[in-house]
Amino acid sequence: MKLFAPDSAHWYQRDGSPLHTVLSAKGEPRATTLRDARKLGLLPSVTNILGVIAKPGLTSWLQEQAVLAALTLPRIAGESEDAFAKRVVEDSLTTRDGAADFGTAFHHGAEQIAKSLEVDRADLLTSWLDLYRDWFQQNVVDCRWTEQRVVSSLFGYAGTADLLIEHRVHGLCLVDLKTMKLNPKYKIKPYSTWCYQLAAYRAALGVRATCINLIVNSVTPEMPVEHVWTESEMESGLRAFMAARELWMTENDYDPTVTVVDV
């Protein structure tokens, strides 16, 4: 059974249920598309909408992986340049997919901790999850919920938020977990789109909560690092998200607040 990251779905049904796949004409599962969304009146995910924003940091990292793959992959005798280039791309994407798999696995382990404080000792991420549990026990007074699906019918988007907690220091907090490779030589710099994502979730939920990104080093097991967004940043983040939403609708010629049936 394939595991999906909490907000990996590009499309959600109106009741907040993610729709990763639909059946093809042959009766086989395939990824849900924009055409399906128009037919079914689906809502785009928050991350789907934020995909219209350029991410130079991610683009640079992907380019670096491709260069590294080109430098380290052995050539196959008689292999054409086109075939080698295709293998380079596939190899570089393996690194990306590995990072996504780590994030998905960590989210599932974190969800279990929020529900029971238990860590599966057979889990390959036990060392990371033990430290996350330490953070959780030290800072969470009460967990209101974990992995909550959120829907904004008014603005036509949906998603899955990680945690709503009573924080020992910050009070009611909406928390989103982020796993990434951290370099000890550099200060952690959260991405602005993380703020936009949290702002969209908070607006859909209609709660007045402090927003936090909890950053987990995917290279070395370490105590998670909190990044607390200010109210000024959150207000700017919501404006940015709404601007991205307008651009997304224009680019895709689809207004998810209106059910359009494409026959």
Question: What is the arithmetic mean of pLDDT over 217-232?
Answer: 96
The owner of tokens 């036509």 is 156
Best CA proximity match to 142, nearest among 160, 168, 119: 168
Number of domains in the chain: 1
Asked whether residue 118 is domain-assigned, the answer is yes
- What pLDDT is attached to residue 4? 39
108 within some domain? yes
The model's confidence at residue 188, banded by pLDDT at 50, 70 and 90, is: confident
Q: What is the CATH number of the domain that holds 205?
A: 3.90.320
Tokens of 27: 């009766």
**Within a domain: 262:** no
Q: Does an H or E element contain 30, and which? A: strand 29-31
Q: What is the pLDDT of residue 79?
A: 73
Q: How confident is the model at residue 1 (pLDDT cuts 50, 70, 90)?
A: very low
Give dist(CA 214, CA 227) in Å, integer: 6
Q: Is residue 145 part of a domain?
A: yes
Amino acid at 5: A
Is residue 252's pLDDT more than 90? yes
CA dist 36 and 38 (Å) reads: 5
Task: Give pLDDT tens digits for 48-77.
Answer: 999 999 665 555 555 565 665 566 667 787
Tens-place pLDDT, residues 27-46: 999 999 999 999 999 999 99
For residue 261, tell me if it sits in a domain. Answer: no
pLDDT digits (tens, 9 = 90+) for 125-145: 999 999 999 999 999 999 999
State which residues form the domain around 91: 11-252
Q: Is residue 137 part of a domain?
A: yes
59 lies in a domain? yes
> Is the residue at 37 inside a domain?
yes
Over the stretch 140-172, which tens digit does the pLDDT of each residue have? Answer: 999 999 999 999 999 999 999 999 999 999 999
pLDDT average, residue stretch 214-235: 96
pLDDT for 121 equals 87
**How long is the chain?**
263
- H or E stretch covering 216: strand 210-217
Taking only the tens place, the pLDDT of each residue in 71-110 is: 666 778 777 877 776 766 665 555 444 456 888 999 999 9
pLDDT given for residue 9 in this prediction: 66
Q: 231: helix, coil or strand?
A: helix
pLDDT band, residue 262 (cuts 50/70/90) = very low
